[in-house]
Amino acid sequence: MFKIEGLEKLQRQIAEAERAFAEVDGELGSVSFNPENPESIEAAIVSMEQMIDGRLGPYANNPLVGPMIDEMKDKYRTAIIDRAAEARLGGAPDDGE
């Protein structure tokens, strides 16, 4: 008979990751910003990162969740910057056009 080392640890990490995913199921929050003001855009990015950290921070050391946190921050940072650029060019996706 043999024993698989680390299986319990992996099961704990998976269970913790499931709880983390449940934390971000649905709406995470919303931010608003002035697309003409770089400080406003940066403040929106910081606010978004704080929302993510508020929900997922307790799971940051989990090797399954930690990388997801970084990916989410990058994704939302890019989305905010892209929306600001679109708004400056007059093509904001939410402007009803």
Report which of residues 56 and 7 the model is more confident about: 56
How many domains are there within the chain?
Answer: 1
Report which of residues 27 and 62 the model is more confident about: 62
Residue 27, domain member (yes or no): no
Residue 79, domain member (yes or no): yes
Residue 80, domain member (yes or no): yes
One-letter amino acid of 81: I
Residue 62, domain member (yes or no): yes
pLDDT, tens digit (0-9, with 9 covering 90-100), for 73-95: 999 999 999 999 999 888 645 54
Residue 21, domain member (yes or no): no
Residue 61, domain member (yes or no): yes
66 in Cβ contact with 53 (< 8 Å): no
Distance CA 23, CA 5 (A): 29
79 in Cβ contact with 44 (< 8 Å): no
Structural domain of 40: 34-88
pTM of the model: 0.78
Compute the mean pLDDT over every residue in the chain, rounded to the nearest whole number: 88
